[in-house]
Each structure stands twice: as structure tokens, then as C-alpha cells.
Structure 1
């Protein structure tokens, strides 16, 4: 074999070995590239599949289902079977908290006004410890000693009743009599309120100096 033949055969062998190395390298790289996405793609579906379940569980715990409110149990309405509320009890509560700025309009007919236009009240001076029974006419006042106090009779209601906006009478008879009086110190009104004949626990007239009781809703009962 000639020298040229030997060199030619060596070049062919080197080329074959180089090609085999390149094929192995390319194949190995290709395998690594194919395995990398397989690992990532297998992990992602697990996280995505679990996220909605966790959110749904938290939502169920945070917002429990409740039954809708029945129309009969709405605010301001009594449910079925609730005992009736006595309007007079509500009136008693409101009267007990009346004051100078909380007085309702007294609305009486002319027939009631003409029949009930005076009253007798007992006044106790808590300082001097003296008491007296005085007669008052509607619209007039009486002096209470030398300290400048006066007591005025504003209205006489024979059968006291209260509506949403007014004070009225249920009848023209003395069934639940009450009088509205005002205490003055000089020309200044100090306190004002109602005095009841029988329902004294609901008297709204309050004074540290004077205690007042209703003796009779008229000087002469008619």
C-alpha cells in the first residue's frame, strides 16, 4: 500500500470517530432537553388542581349558609304569636321621661276644657319641710313662699291618653286624671311635667326643692 493510501485511510477513520462523537454529544444533549420539561410539567398540574379546592374550603368556612329572614320578622314587625303590646304601657314610659323640651301638644275639646279648668295639688317644700294644699286654675300660677318660686297649672286631663304626637283624653270622666304643671323661679321656667292622681309612679314632674301631688283634678268634682 502506498503512503497516500495509508494517509487517506487514517483521515477516513478520524472522520468516522469525530462523527460518532458528535452524534453522541447531540443525542445526549437532546435527552437532557427532553427530560427537563417533563419534570416541570408533572409538578404544575398538582398545584393548579389543589388551589381551587383550598379556596372553596376557605369560602365555605367564612360564609356559612343562613336561612333568609321571614317577612314577619322584619324590623318593626312582631312575629306571629308575639303577645300584643299595651299602648298605655308605652305611654307611661314616655311620660316618665318628659321634660321642658319633650312636651307633646295637649289637645282637648272645648267640652273637656269647660268641665276641667282647675285642680287641687299638695306641695311639699323639701327645704322648710312645710306642706300645703293649694288650688290652681288653668293658665294661672300661685306663689310658693318668699324665694320667688311659682307653680302654674297648664292643663287638666281627666282620662289621660297619649298618641304619637299629642296628649288627649279618652273620655270626659276622671278615670285617669292628670295635670300638667310648670315650676318657675321668678320668670324662668325651671321644670315642667305631669302629675297623676293614681299612677304616681309615672309622674314626670321632677324638682329637688318641691314635691307635688295631685289631690283632685277639680275643685268640685262634677
Structure 2
């Protein structure tokens, strides 16, 4: 019975995390008492137990035309440019145990149980994507680009 409850709770957390995140995650609709729809910003909260514990993430970039994959290690808070392209990727945040509580995106623990990296992708200097890459669910709300695919493949602890 206890195992069934644990499995059920884990499944609920995963479903909420996967279903709740989308490219529009940065904005949530809220209906005011007057009936007007307003947008509420999603807030990313990195818990103290996670801050400073992770140095970088490893992002696989697949060139769809050649089917060649290259893995880049990018420090959290830094960015890199994909060679021979006008695309740059910034790693904004890393949450080892991603979860959503209303409009708050956070980490349930420092254990890598549902690793997610918040990234921002620019093409030609213009924002084309701001969202999340998930290790366990690489195709969930993935950035769609005609030439490149992006996947979070690993993460590097600090120290």
C-alpha cells in the first residue's frame, strides 16, 4: 500500500511537471474578479539547498541535416554560440528535481530526479525560445528549429 501511494505521488509530480510546462510557461492567465484576463508571470525559485551546488549542464545539439550530434558543457548563467551558426544558447537556471507549484517553478530537492535546464536561445541576436529542456522528457515542449535539435543530456556538480 505504501509503495502504491509513493508511486502514485511520483506519477502526479511528473504529470504536473510535464503537462504544466510549455513555451508559454513564462505567462499564466488569471481571471480577475471583474472578469478580465490578465497574465501572471511564472517565477523560478532556486531553493537554498540547490544554489551553488551545480556548475554546468551538458546540452546535445543535433544538426538535423547531417544527423551529427555535438555535446557542449555550458556553465549555469553563461552562454555559448553553436559553431558555424547564428544561434546562441544561454543557460539561465538548473533545477535538479523540477516541479511546479502554481506559477512557481522550483526544485523539490537537490537530487537529480527530474533534471531541467531553463534556456534562452537567440538566432541572429533575436529571442526565438525561452523554456526548459528536460533530461527525462527530451521531446516535451522542445524547441522546434528547422536545422537543430537541443537536448539536456547531463549536469555537472560544483566543486
Measured against the shorter chain, the TM-score band is 0.7 to 0.9
State TM-score, norm by structure 2: 0.73
Q: Any gaps of 5 or more consecutive residues in structure 2?
A: 1-8, 28-40
> 92, 98, 102: which one pairs with 2:18?
92
Q: Any gaps of 5 or more consecutive residues in structure 1?
A: 1-83
Question: What count of residue pairs does the alignment treat as equivalent?
Answer: 137
> 63, 67, 86: which one pairs with 1:125?
63
What corresponds to 1:205 in structure 2?
Answer: 143
Tell me the secondary structure at the aligned position of residue 89 of structure 1: helix
The 1:142/1:100 distance shift into structure 2, 3 A limit, reads farther
1:158 aligns with 2:96: yes
1:167-206 equivalences under 5 Å are 167-206=105-144
State TM-score, norm by structure 1: 0.54
The root-mean-square deviation of aligned C-alpha atoms, in Å, is 2.5
Q: Whose radius of gyration is greater, 1 or 2?
A: 1
What corresponds to 1:139 in structure 2?
Answer: 77
Kept in 1: contact 2:96–2:110 (CA 8 A)? yes
Structure 1 distance, partners of 2:60, 2:70, is 6
Structure 1 distance, partners of 2:61, 2:54, is 20
- Which structure's residues are more often helix, by fraction? 1
Tell me the secondary structure at the aligned position of residue 92 of structure 1: helix
Cα deviation, 1:119-141, whole Å, max 9, x if unaligned, reads 11110122454321001011211
Shift of residue 176, structure 1, vs aligned partner? 1.2
Structure 1 distance, partners of 2:16, 2:113, is 18
